[in-house]
Structure 1
Amino acid sequence: MSVFSRSRGKVVGGIAVVGVGALFLAGCAGSGGDTESSAPAAEAGEEMTLTIGTALPQTGNLAFLGPPEEAGVAYATAQINEATADTGLTLDVIYGDSGDTDNKAYETEIPRLLGEGVSAIIGAASSGTSLQFIDQVVGAGVIQFSPANTSDVFTTYDDNGLYFRTAPSDVLQGEVLGNLIAEDGNQTLGMIVLNDSYGTGLAGYVTEAFEAAGGEVVAAPTYNTGDTSFDAQISEVVAAAPDAIALITFEEVTTILPSLFGQIPSDKLYFVDGNLSNFGDQFPAGSLTGAKGTLPGLTIDSIAAFTDELDAFLEAEGIAALEEYSYAAESYDATILLALASLAAGSTDSAAIAEKLVEVSGGSGDGESCSSYAECAEIILGGGVADYDGVSGPITFDEVGDPTEASIGIYEFGDDNTYAAYEG
């Protein structure tokens, strides 16, 4: 498989692999936490309880991403609390459901989490869903930290300095996918696009890259979250007779695909992070042979030690190992960074933590590199500046809370309708 990485605009190459599945960690919860703006700073090693919430998709059209994301948070929390005797910081997590813009689970979950006095909320996975409650969260003076939002809207959003993400903007994923489709020899492209900030934004960047490579987008109908029939969109795209079709969707892809089978070769189908999944026997064998897709983040090969440890942690908790690891590392890193920023600030106050997030990610440029919570905490409590290099990558936030380095993996489906490394 190919992986493209960008560090302040530069694109380079690499290799790796990934896997998929589903699981919920619904019963883990904590309580308490000081989020008042007047929260006093703590001395190094003084006891503090940091309370955060999650608004990750337990339901809705990205529910398949909820289990790995919640697992990443839970594993990081266990490591943070194992070190409490040395650091003085205890982390409590209150798990919640973001849902999607159709079922609107966030309408009750976000007020519930804010009512618990959380200092930060990790979520949502969907950019469109995050945009439904970001004003409510940052307006309450609370940090919103997404492990999977990729819409470019957040880069310039008026968030009071309280929004962060460990996933890269879709500027890069769109560039990689558009170029891939062109490099595969396709001259015309059709797309079926989710009509939200994620879908239309990513489609725009795919179009820009594909057309810059000499191609033409001949159809790009949209649909809305909650739609159950896609006949009109499929008919429009097929009637345009494109060389290839890109599906910029979420879980709705399972309804769309059967109508495309037989109308376009499987190796002319392209997926994105919102729908890249091991479909297996959901479809007849060979239905997706040669189809490709992109997924932001480092690949499973490169973080195998982490995923092995994560599965061992889940097994010890009596939970089956994950089959899907998408955004688990980004969720883990978000949790670690929040705890480290709290330590560096000596406070559980949201604003104080936000002020330290860039620093502990390495964004200030003057920290000592470290790669685990315990190692970074030791540096902070010793009076130094920690630069956390995460499982998902170096991270290194810029001044608006975006990671300045990113990787995009390219994957290919086999005859069993599961995806693996693209070796092209």
Structure 2
Amino acid sequence: MNVFSRTRTGKILGVIAVAGASALVLAGCAGGGGGTASSASSGPAEDLTLKIGTVLPQTGSLAFLGPPEEAGVGLAVTEVNEAAKGITIDATFGDSGDADNKAFETTVPKLQAAGVSAMIGAAASGVTKLFLDSNVSAGIITFSPANTSPDFTTWDDNGLYFRTAPSDLLQGEVLANLIAEDGHKNIGIIYQNDAYGTGLFGVVKEVFEGTGGKVVADASYNDGDSSFDAQVATITAAKPDAVVLITFDQFATIAPLLSNAGIAPADYYLVDGNLKNWGTDVAVPLEGAKGTLPGPKLSDDFQERLNENWTAAGNTELADYSYSGESYDAVVLLALASLAAKSTTATDVAAKLQEVSGGTGDGEKCTTFADCADIINGGGVADYDGYSGPVTFDENGDPTEATIGIYQYGADNNYARIN
């Protein structure tokens, strides 16, 4: 067994600011479309079976992210297995819940006992923090499609933690600059008191005040809270010209309180934890409100394949696609790393993840599992660019190439990408 570890650094590489109120891109973005392999597939000497499990939110305050994330995993598993390139994925789906209902306390031990090499999840940074050390001790890869807390960059994980979502050092900067570019000078921030909320709050505050603006009030709450009158009173008393809401589904309760207190929904700024198609689930019109979400625009073909595979399993059609590309890419990268390592042992797979993501700079570009697998099976090095972007892991397991999209709500309380 090879023991893999990496030196920890806190550096984000290749940051490029896009002019105007727009996305911030690290070294570009790419869609996982078609591609052609340059070498014939010979396959490994013996077919591999990689066991993975998911710890994604089927319940709890991030449950709206569960379907698109599980759909991304499910589609990748189907397409990897159908490709027949020398590796089969055996996937078990489980619930992460949230930090309040703690469903992960049942799911994680079951997956560990089942002998998985990797777990996909959790979505919430605060939840991952509660089981990551256990997985590290067990020698299991934890691969999140949605964790954004900056804390994971320097986590003592023995090289066993990866994520396809970028750190909130990126999302916070994009959001703060967007608010400033929209002309706001004095903002209030309501945020969840956990790793995700406090981390994103800190970045937004620092960057916004660096533009010359001021955070005139902030108020936190704990996951599981159901009353937010005190937080809203604190914010509205300071008379901000915009409010940032770093929440999960608590937004549905907080938004009407802010509106009733005289703050127009068009001056709300949302984040990935609450950016969803709210429709009638929020009792006030959100037209004009804006928000940010990691990930490039997904192709129609990818969304169609997601829905076809998802509904074929008896599920209803997806209403949201947040982090579906990141979830798909997590599975593909694990499969490619296993194929490159000719092993399903977690430490061996982890040792190849940076390589197959293009992080070593030695690979041949490819955009589908099948084409990348042909490169590997032909003796080459693959560099996978996926639906979440080029990925390109650094030594910390962080993607160094990612995009933050900007969205705006219409009269139907659904959002659309504006940049």
Fold conserved (TM > 0.5)? yes
TM-score between both structures, scaled by the size of structure 1: 0.89
Does 2:405 correspond to 1:406?
no
Q: CA deviation at 1:355?
A: 0.3
Q: CA deviation at 1:98?
A: 0.7
Supply the distance in 2 between the matched residues of 1:100 and 1:418 (Cα, whole angstroms): 25
- SS of the residue corresponding to residue 402 of structure 2 reads strand
Which contiguous aligned blocks of 4+ residues in structure 1 show a shift greater than 4 angstroms?
Answer: 13-16
Q: CA deviation at 1:338?
A: 0.4
Q: 2:160–2:350: 8 Å Cα contact kept in structure 1?
A: yes
Q: CA deviation at 1:317?
A: 3.5
The aligned residue for residue 358 of structure 2 is 362
- Code of the aligned partner of 1:277: K
Does 2:391 correspond to 1:395?
yes
In structure 2, which of residues 130, 133, 142 is the aligned counterpart of residue 132 of structure 1? 130
Supply the distance in 2 between the matched residues of 1:79 and 1:282 (Cα, whole angstroms): 34
The aligned residue for residue 69 of structure 1 is 69
Q: 1:152–1:169: 8 Å Cα contact kept in structure 2?
A: yes
RMSD value, Cα: 1.6
Supply the distance in 1 between the matched residues of 2:297 and 2:223 (Cα, whole angstroms): 29
Q: CA deviation at 1:314?
A: 2.5
- Code of the aligned partner of 1:123: G
Supply the distance in 2 between the matched residues of 1:15 and 1:221 (Cα, whole angstroms): 27
Supply the distance in 2 between the matched residues of 1:248 and 1:50 (Cα, whole angstroms): 36
The aligned residue for residue 323 of structure 2 is 327
The aligned residue for residue 221 of structure 1 is 219
| 1:125-179 deviation digits (Å, cap 9, x = unpaired) | 0001100000001111000000000000000110000000000000111111111
| 1:290-337 deviation digits (Å, cap 9, x = unpaired) | 11111111123xx22211221222344343321100000000000000
The aligned residue for residue 260 of structure 1 is 258
Supply the distance in 2 between the matched residues of 1:283 and 1:173 (Cα, whole angstroms): 24
The aligned residue for residue 415 of structure 1 is 411
Structure 1 residues 136-151: aligned runs within 5 Å: 136-151=134-149
The aligned residue for residue 38 of structure 1 is none
- Code of the aligned partner of 2:254: I
The aligned residue for residue 192 of structure 2 is 194
Supply the distance in 1 between the matched residues of 2:50 and 2:170 (Cα, whole angstroms): 34
Q: 1:337–1:357: 8 Å Cα contact kept in structure 2?
A: yes
Q: CA deviation at 1:7?
A: 6.1
Supply the distance in 2 between the matched residues of 1:142 and 1:283 (Cα, whole angstroms): 40
The aligned residue for residue 368 of structure 2 is 372
Structure 1 residues 309-328: aligned runs within 5 Å: 309-328=305-324
Supply the distance in 2 between the matched residues of 1:83 and 1:185 (Cα, whole angstroms): 51
Q: CA deviation at 1:47?
A: 1.7
Q: CA deviation at 1:10?
A: 1.4
The aligned residue for residue 277 of structure 1 is 276
- SS of the residue corresponding to residue 217 of structure 1 reads strand
- Code of the aligned partner of 2:51: T
Q: 1:45–1:89: 8 Å Cα contact kept in structure 2?
A: no
Supply the distance in 2 between the matched residues of 1:202 and 1:322 (Cα, whole angstroms): 27
Structure 1 residues 37-56: aligned runs within 5 Å: 44-56=44-56
Q: CA deviation at 1:45?
A: 4.2
Q: CA deviation at 1:89?
A: 1.3
Supply the distance in 1 between the matched residues of 2:273 and 2:193 (Cα, whole angstroms): 13
- Code of the aligned partner of 2:144: S
Supply the distance in 1 between the matched residues of 2:325 and 2:265 (Cα, whole angstroms): 30
Q: CA deviation at 1:92?
A: 0.3
What percent of counterpart residues are identical?
59
- SS of the residue corresponding to residue 393 of structure 1 reads coil
Supply the distance in 1 between the matched residues of 2:281 and 2:367 (Cα, whole angstroms): 39
How many residues get paired?
387
In structure 2, which of residues 199, 204, 207 is the aligned counterpart of residue 206 of structure 1? 204
Supply the distance in 2 between the matched residues of 1:422 and 1:366 (Cα, whole angstroms): 35
The aligned residue for residue 20 of structure 1 is none
Q: CA deviation at 1:283?
A: 3.6
- Code of the aligned partner of 2:269: Y
The aligned residue for residue 349 of structure 2 is 353
Q: 2:22–2:178: 8 Å Cα contact kept in structure 1?
A: no
The aligned residue for residue 32 of structure 2 is none
